Amino acid sequence: MAIFCKADTKILVQGITGRDGSFHAKSMLDYGTNIVAGVTPGRGGQTFEGKVPVFDSVAEAVAETGADASVIFVPPFGAAGAVFEAADAGCKLVVCITEGVPTLDMVKVMPFLEERGVRMVGPNCPGFINPGMKAKLGILPGNIVAPGPVGLISRSGTLTYEVVDALTKAGLGQTTCLGIGGDPVIGTQFMDALKAFHADAETKALVMIGEIGGDAEERAAEYIKANMDIPVVSFIAGRTAPPGKRMGHAGAIVTGGTGTAADKKKALEAAGIPVADRPVDVVPLLRELWKDAP
Amino acid sequence: MNIHEYQAKELFRAMGLVVPPGDVADTVDGALALAREYGLPVMVKSQVLTGGRGKAGGVKFCETEEDVKTHAGNILGMDIKGHTVHKVLITPAETIAEEYYVGMLVDRASRRVLLMASAEGGVEIEQVAKDNPDAILKFAIDPRYGLLDHQALGVAMKMTGDIKKARQLAVGMQKLYRSFMHSDASLAEINPYIFTDEGVGKAIDAKVNLDDNAMYRHPTYEAMRDLDEEEASEAMARKADLSFVKLEGNVGCLVNGAGLAMATMDLVKYYGGLPANFLDIGGSSNPDKVVNALEIILTDPNVEVILFNIFGGITRCDDVAKGIIEATKRMDIKVPIVVRLTGTNEVEARELLAETDLVPAATMDEAVQKAIELAGK
């Protein structure tokens, strides 16, 4: 059944007429995603790709189409505003793809979402894709995924594609492939995603792609050890990253000796979660651990 | 983006924190003039963007003008952990009766600004965290209401039994929070926050890191950026809106996505090579961006091969291929280039590359191995 959205979830796209928004909204439509509306202030009344109505505001889009989830492609300075707007209009799921959002904007957004029971994925993330229900909320390439029993959580974007591609080519399809993003403050944290996969009966195995910085992988390892009995394997990026330098993602930084790849590997292996040396090694490690894999 | 102590103090002063006066000089004469203005004794403090200045001899107490000349002379031009001192801060020396630590950072787990405070001030907080974690008080601030009076005072009362001092500390914490939010900081520290013999609380050291993502709305802080402290290639990358970190190896890496870029570096190391850099060309890449990226990588004379590892998602492979071809036409590139392009529009990309002398690779592993082999030649 996969996580975070249902086959009948009605999706709107904020920033649908922008350069990135239009490119990816088209790709989401081509994949089969149920996009019911687009929002760009000042473009209300237009139609996207001949079938998706565009509205001036999320509130109008929700009132007219019943949309209950939003995918955001607006520029960084407008991203927090777009999240507030989607939540205010009643969307219960917000996927914020935008990269480069000021961290304190997201600190301010979080209580607003919590008060309204809204889940946010991102920002600065590829979103997620549920191949079994042809739902793509974000920018993951639809041609590299396949329906199947593996759940995948990642803090990265393109590294996720690398691993998903390897899984699919090895005949290991996915329930949900989820990129939670690499920023310090994100709506759906590693642990939230883990719990969602844990509750999903169709997810029979899990792949976790972590990176340096913070302690999300360490906390995930503890949770998995205490609560989960499905096979889990992992990959951690950033073994060669120098301390004190931000490696692209604002969250990917080794500070004061914490958040190193070595620490994470140690914590994961102590919890019985093998850590792959190379992205391609994820597949053989998973097969080794998972005797009745497809 | 990190700013210097004297800049952080300006920021604190503007929010009403009690900070001793001070100004920077880049010559001994300038330092002496400031010392005379404030009156002796003064502190001479090196302004470099690294910790451990005191241990390195970059912070000195001066009782006489002769001391100022000697110490300012020694410290200006000094190397502290690879950073050259270009400026010293001259500030009146305070009598220190008590030292505290007050800091704030963005806490990933609670997704709030976390106040951290300790009665063990004046020493490195990382050391306190390691040796005696219970000595650090923590409070996650609700962004809707800010740091409320009773919350700040509650923390301060755990640091000192003296209500007059606790009130000063509490107000200091609230002003630090306002500075933090106002400047879009990711870290702000006062270490130490002192009380003088007369019981007056002051911030005598200051450290602030600002959120690069928010600098578009803070042109005055962006102007604080110390260009002398930046690696030339890293400055070029920042101007070109590329994420770049210089490393020591000879395999120049050009990758889309931060996670894949790190994984590529790791794989170079795995196969026995050494990466020359981290470089994320980012999401929607255009040919000009690739040209910029190549120019930045090639400023490093150690680079013996260039490795493109592109998994197209948001990035279109044909865009990247056009960029590579255009760049190689515009530039005189002497090192071999290995290219791995997979994903969106990869067929078109391969057709474009087939007419060039670039070295193609089908997978990330193959590309890395080929690059290391070519770098050795």
Instruction: Record the tokens describing residue B235, joined without a space.
Output: 């400055």
> Is B272 in the same domain as B325?
yes
Tokens 């395999």 belong to residue: B251
Instruction: Record the tokens describing residue A231, joined without a space.
Output: 């096979």
Q: Is the pLDDT of residue A256 over 80?
A: no
Question: Residue A81 has what pLDDT?
Answer: 98
Size of interface A-B (CB pairs under 8 A): 174
Can you state the angle between helices B346-353 and B317-330, rounded to 10 degrees?
A: 20
Compute the C-alpha angle B172/B176/B180, nearest 5°: 175
**pLDDT tens sequence across B242-258:** 889 999 999 999 998 89
Of the residues B92, B111, B133, the one at which a domain ends: B92
Could you tell me if residue B352 is inside a domain? yes
The rounded percent of chain B whose pLDDT value lies above 70 is 98
Question: Residue B241 has what pLDDT?
Answer: 81
Question: Residue B234 has what pLDDT?
Answer: 81
How many independent structural domains does chain B possess? 3
Distances (CA, A) of A115 to A79, A84, A109, A211, B90: 19, 12, 10, 30, 49
CB contact under 8 A, A240 and B275: yes
> Is B250 in the same domain as B316?
yes
Contacts of A282 in chain B (CB under 8 A): none
Q: How far is B238 from chain A (nearest CA, A)?
A: 11
Domain that holds residue B283: 230-375
Question: Residue B285 has what pLDDT?
Answer: 54
Question: Residue B333 has what pLDDT?
Answer: 86
Contacts of A209 in chain B (CB under 8 A): 259
> Is B234 in the same domain as B371?
yes
Q: Which of A106, A239, A247 sits opposite B258 (nearest CB)?
A: A247
Continuous segment of H or E residues that includes residue B264: helix B258-270
We report the CATH number of the domain holding residue B47 as 3.30.1490.20
The rounded percent of chain A whose pLDDT value lies above 90 is 87
The rounded percent of chain B whose pLDDT value lies above 90 is 67
CATH class for the domain made up of A140-289? alpha beta
Q: Which of A20, A162, A240 sits opposite B364 (nearest CB)?
A: A162
Contacts of B343 in chain A (CB under 8 A): 141, 144, 161
> Is B256 in the same domain as B209?
no
Q: What is the CA radius of gyration of chain A?
A: 19
Tokens 């760049």 belong to residue: B327
> Is B193 in the same domain as B315?
no
> Is B196 in the same domain as B247?
no
Strand partners, B222: none
Question: Residue A257 has what pLDDT?
Answer: 65
Question: Residue B314 has what pLDDT?
Answer: 56
Could you tell me if residue B344 is inside a domain? yes
**pLDDT tens sequence across A52-68:** 999 999 999 999 999 99
CB contact under 8 A, B258 and A252: yes
Strand partners, B308: B254, B339
Question: Residue B105 has what pLDDT?
Answer: 93
Residue ranges of the domains in chain A? 11-121, 140-289
Question: Residue A166 has what pLDDT?
Answer: 94
Contact by Cβ (8 Å): B72, B96: no
Does residue B228 or residue A124 have the better pLDDT?
A124
Any alpha helices (H) in B19-162, and if so which ranges?
28-38, 65-75, 125-131, 149-157
Mean pLDDT for B77-100 is 94
Sheet of strand B23-25, all strands in order from the earlier edge strand to the far edge: B23-25, B88-92, B42-46, B59-62
> Is B122 in the same domain as B48?
no
Of the residues B71, B92, B113, the one at which a domain ends: B92
Neighbours of B64 (CB within 10 A): 11
Mean pLDDT for B137-155 is 97
Question: Residue B313 has what pLDDT?
Answer: 64
For A129, phi then psi, to 5°, come to -140, 130
Distance CA A233, CA A215 (A): 17
Q: Is the pLDDT of residue B202 over 60?
A: yes
Local structure of residue B275 (DSSP, 8 states): B
Question: Residue B286 has what pLDDT?
Answer: 66
Least-confidence region, from A118-122, A271-275, B307-311, B317-321: B317-321
Q: How far is B167 from chain A (nearest CA, A)?
A: 27
Question: Residue A292 has what pLDDT?
Answer: 83
> Is B335 in the same domain as B266?
yes
CB contact under 8 A, A214 and B108: yes
Does residue A193 or residue B228 have the better pLDDT?
A193
Could you tell me if residue B251 is inside a domain? yes
> Is B175 in the same domain as B297?
no
**pLDDT tens sequence across B312-344:** 765 678 877 887 888 778 888 889 999 998 877
Could you tell me if residue B10 is inside a domain? no
E strand map for chain B: 2-3, 23-25, 42-46, 59-62, 79-80, 83-84, 88-92, 98-107, 112-118, 136-141, 185-195, 201-203, 207-210, 243-246, 251-255, 277-280, 305-312, 337-343, 359-360
> Is B30 in the same domain as B120?
no
Contacts of B313 in chain A (CB under 8 A): 126, 139-141, 157-158, 161
We report the CATH number of the domain holding residue B265 as 3.40.50.261
Fold identical between A11-121 and A140-289? yes
Continuous segment of H or E residues that includes residue B330: helix B317-330
Distance CA A139, CA A25 (A): 9
For B152, phi then psi, to 5°, come to -65, -45
pTM of the model: 0.92
Of the residues B188, B222, B256, the one at which a domain ends: B222
> Is B211 in the same domain as B238?
no
Domain A11-121, what architecture? Answer: 3-Layer(aba) Sandwich (3.40)
> Is B235 in the same domain as B368?
yes
Instruction: Quote the distance between the C-alpha of residue A192 and its chain's center.
Output: 11
Name the band, by pLDDT with cuts 50, 70 and 90, for residue B132.
confident
Q: Is the pLDDT of residue A99 over 80?
A: yes
**pLDDT tens sequence across B35-76:** 999 999 999 999 999 888 988 999 999 999 999 999 999 999
Instruction: Record the tokens describing residue B337, joined without a space.
Output: 């280039």
Could you tell me if residue B3 is inside a domain? no
Least-confidence region, from A14-18, B304-308, B333-337: B333-337
Question: Residue B207 has what pLDDT?
Answer: 95
Name the band, by pLDDT with cuts 50, 70 and 90, for residue B10.
very high
Cis peptide bond prior to A284, omega within 30° of 0: no
